[in-house]
Structure 1
Amino acid sequence: MFEAGYDALLVALHPERLLWLSVGAAVGLCVGVLPGLGGTVGMAILLPFVFGMDPFSGVAMLMGMAAVVHTGDTFPSVLLGVPGSSGSQATIMDGYPLARQGEAARALGAAFFCSMVGGIIGAVMLFAIIGVARPIVLALGSPELFMFAVLGLSMVGVLAKGAPAAGLAAGFLGLWIGIIGLAPQVGQYRFTFDMLYLNDGIPIAVMALGLFALPEMVDLVSSNRSISKTQQLGGSRLSGVRDAVRHKWLVLRSSVIGTAMGIVPGIGGSVVDWFIYGLTRQTSRENSQFGHGDIRGVIGPESANNAKEGGALVPTLLFGIPGSGTTAMLLGGLILLGTADPGPGMVDGAGLPVTLSIIWSLALANILGTAASLSLSGQVAKLSLIPAKKLTPFLLVIMTVAAYQATQNWGDILAFLVIGVVGWIMKQVGWPRAPMLIGYVLAQPAERYLHLSMSRYDYEWMTRPIVIIVAALTLFVIFGSQIFRQRKVKQQVEEAEATDT
């Protein structure tokens, strides 16, 4: 295995393969920087070009794009408060507040370095477990996937910021919006109000842009200032890298968990991102600054964001079950190249060199993407100093186009505006918006897996071992956050009493 890995490294380092890897990485950066596009769009751009290519060159180009798009999407998340893709949603919670404090370069430096480390750890774990992961993936059925969705929903309470009622209400509102449209289980349309546009539901790009982007743009224009409240950038890219090194155990833990969750088909980047953010916040001793510009709120999600791509390749290669939209398109590219035969053949026999080439390309692309992003971040961070009256019109055009491209229907723009108004009202009254997005993202998978579990196993699925373990973990997340919060309040009261005496 190690000898084959060394041979695959020599193949990956061939100048021609490095050139195509760079092309894919460049496309990934461009796609990632534009809000609302994501890896699926990037793959769609490259797929027509891989037909007839040398398999290893084609793999290098596709993996370059797939790995780097989740690095480039950090730019809009930090600088604009706009999720660059579904896997960078949690980064805005602390990345954007840091940019408003003039610390954009620091946040970007930490994010890019953690993305590189997470991507490399994901590739290493993929190499280590791909040969033995088959029984793990086979043990996960619809009951386990439903419980993972419930585990993601448990983050609603953690992210409520001391307002559990508002957080739950926002989460349920997101769940309701998430089930608008056709219910595949019963073949009926729900909550469409006889509007043809709503038959397919509201796209996630429209939801994320409206909920987070438009309210920020409105506030910038109303206050007539730049994104940064200061007129001078503080911190630097190197200070962000030092922050990541100082929190090295957080980087390692988030990367390992992100890879493990990426193995589970159907979980998606949104769940991983929010779960890691909630876990980071809950397990941090001093967490009062989370949501207001805590660098750990950037380090945790960004470490897991790229690491999960390594895990998502396990079911893709072993079973042909894509772990995300990006890996689904990657599988199509492998088929075009004539190299894909999902199953044991990908880790034993003729498919092994291709698999190892994918792993090396994943690691090399993360290094290349990080180097390019770090070199650009110093200049790009200056966008946070541009006055709103000059920056906002340009951003609104980009966001409107990004919303429209979701389904290329004029209803996308109307939905973008309506959700933007709702998001702005929530921001003004102090309601957390993150729980609403979590509820929206998890509504359909939770409903689908629950229906499958009940139809296949009735209520017996509740006794499955993994279901019980995930349920216990969910209860720990829900009640543990309350316990930690009560302890913190008690500690603050005791400190205040000690100060008075």
Structure 2
Amino acid sequence: MIEAALDALLIVLHPSRIGFMFLGIFIGIIVGLLPGLSGTVGMSLLLPFVFGLDPFVGMALLIGMVAVVHTGDTFPSILLGIPGTSGSQATIMDGFPLAKQGQASRAMGASFFCSMVGGVAGGIALYLMIPFARPLISAFSSPELFMLTMLGLSMAGLLAGKSPIKGVISGLLGLLIGSIGSAPAVAEYRYTFGSLYLSSGVSLPVVALSIFAFPIMITMLTNKGTISSNGELKGGILQGVKDSIKNKFLVLRSALIGTLVGFVPGLGGSVVDWLAYGAAQKTVKNNYFGKGDIRGVIAPESANNAKEGGSLVPTLLFGIPGSGTTAILLGGLTLMGLEAGPRMLTTDLPVTLSIVWTLVFANIFGALLCMVLIRPISKFSMIPGEKIVPFLLVLLILGAFQSNFSWGDLIVFVVIGLLGYAMTILDWPRPPLLIGFVLALSAERYYWISIERYGWSWLSSPIVIILAIVILLLLTGGTLIKRFTKSVETDGGGISQ
């Protein structure tokens, strides 16, 4: 295996393949920079160009792009409070407040360093898991996948700060919006009101952009002034890197979470950053998440790049896409004359190992390139909001419209955007709504498949029981920690008086 890996390294280092990898990195950063686009869109744009290409060249282009999309999407998430892709939503929670405090460079320095570490960790995990992947993937059937979605939904209350009830209600509202369209278990449509557009449901990019971006634009117009409230840039790139090294265990733990979530087909990158953020929120001491805590940037950014390495395991070895991006990657394999499955471990093993090397190199070079761009791009936070909003509005409308190329996307964008603005004014948490929306169909689908196939016997599965215990520990542990914190604050207040 080691000898084969060294042979694959020599193949990857060929000048032509390195050139295509850098082309993919450049495209990936651009896709991440533009709000509303995603790895799926970038992959779709590249797919026609890989037809008939040498597999090593084609994979260098595709993996180079995929590896850095979740690095480039940090720019709009931190500077503008708008998710560059669905995998950068949690970064907004603390990254945007840091930008408001004039610490955009510090936040992005930490983000890119953690993205690099997470991406390299994901590549190493892909290499190490190749021999053991089959029994691991086959252990997860519909009951286990259902419990994993429940684990994701349990984060709704945890991410609501001091109002877990509001978080639960917000998550349920997300489930309701996610259930619009065709039901996965029965042949009927729900909440479509006779609209052909709603019969296929509401798309994730539209919801993600509207719930976060729309309120930010209104706020920027009404408040006026610059994003950075103090009118200066503080905390440089190296400070962010130092913060990451100081919290090295958080970086590694979040990268592990990202890799494990990536292993599970269908769970997707829209959840991994929230899982890592929620885990960090409950385990990091003396945190002030949501108000500009650098650790709230470190956790999700370490996880979302690590997820890519994990998601390639079921994609390459079983032909089961771990996300929308890897689903298109399967089409790219076919166009290049490859077939996902056991052959990727035998006949096409050099291609598989070249993917590992490309993933590692692309994450390193992509992060370094983004670090070079931090200083000039950070100056966007110094531009008055009313000058940025018209440009952003064009990008967001295009980003929303490209989901289905339907006018319905724009109507939904405005409606859910107004809902997001109302939630902002009333101090209701928005992340739980997005989590509920993302997991709605998966939860329902896996639940019905489990019932139809196993009855209620699936509740006795060891993995299901373990996941149920983890969920209970998260929920009860979070409640106990909040009560303990309140009691400490009360006692402290009494002493100070």
The TM-score normalised by the length of structure 1 is 0.98
1:59-458 mapped onto 2 (5 Å cutoff): 59-287=59-287, 289-340=288-339, 342-347=340-345, 349-458=346-455
The answer to whether the Cα contact below 8 Å between 1:108 and 1:237 also exists between their aligned partners in 2 is: yes
Deviation at 1:156, TM superposition (A): 0.9
Give the partner amino acid of 1:297: G
- Superimposed CA distance per residue, residues 287-306 of structure 1 (whole angstroms, 9 cap, x where no aligned partner): 2x100111001100000000
The alpha-carbon deviation at position 499 of structure 1 amounts to 2.2
Residue 411 (structure 1) shift: 0.9
Q: Distance in 2 between matches of 1:286 and 1:17?
A: 47
8 Å CA contact 1:50–1:336 kept in 2: the answer is yes
The 2-side partners of 1:388 and 1:497 are apart by 43
What SS does structure 1 have at the residue aligned with 2:132? coil
* Separation of aligned partners in 1, 2:267 and 2:352: 23
- Give the superposition deviation at 1:339: 2.5
**Cα distance, 1:436 vs. partner?**
0.7
SS of equivalent to 1:133: helix
Aligned AA for 1:330? L
Secondary structure, in 3 states, of the residue corresponding to 2:362? helix
Query: Equivalent residue of 1:150, what SS?
Result: helix
Q: How far did residue 330 of structure 1 move? A: 1.2
Deviation at 1:497, TM superposition (A): 2.4
Aligned length: 497
Matched AA of 2:129: I
Distance in 1 between the 2:244 and 2:331 partners?
Answer: 36
State the distance in 1 between where 2:133 and 2:54 align: 29
Once the 2 structures are TM-superposed, how far is the Cα of residue 494 of structure 1 from its aligned partner?
A: 2.1
Match of 1:329, SS?
Answer: helix
Percentage identity across paired residues of the two chains: 55
Amino acid at match of 1:273: D
Do the aligned partners of 1:256 and 1:307 also contact (CA within 8 Å) in 2?
A: yes
Instruction: Confirm or deny: 8 A CA contact 1:339 1:354 kept in the other structure.
Output: no
State the AA in 2 paired with 1:67. Answer: A
Secondary structure of 1:382's aligned partner: helix
Q: 1:209, 1:478 → 2: CA distance?
A: 29
For 1:346, give the aligned amino acid: M
Question: 1:475 is matched with which residue?
Answer: 472
> Secondary structure of the residue that 2:189 maps to in structure 1?
strand
Is the 8 Å Cα contact of residues 185 and 445 (structure 2) preserved in structure 1? yes
Measured after TM superposition, the shift of residue 346 of structure 1 is 1.3
Q: Decide whether the 8 Å contact of 1:81 with 1:96 is kept in 2.
A: yes
What runs of 5+ residues in structure 1 fail to find an aligned partner?
Answer: none
CA distance in 1, matches of 2:157, 2:426: 18
For the aligned residues, what is the CA RMSD?
A: 0.9
Distance 2:302 2:426 in 1: 32
**Distance in structure 2 (CA, Å) of the matches to 1:112 and 1:157:** 29
Aligned 8 A contact 2:184 2:441 in 1: no
How far residue 335 of structure 1 moved from its aligned partner, in angstroms, is 1.3
- TM-score for both structures, normalised by structure 2: 0.99
- Distance between the aligned counterparts of 2:72 and 2:48, measured in 1? 22
**Gaps spanning 5+ residues in structure 2: where?**
none
Distance 2:191 2:325 in 1: 30
Q: Which residue of 1 aligns with 2:52?
A: 52
- Deviation of 1:36 after TM superposition, in Å, equals 1.4
**1:108-137 deviations in Å (ceiling 9; x for gaps):** 111111000000011111111111111010
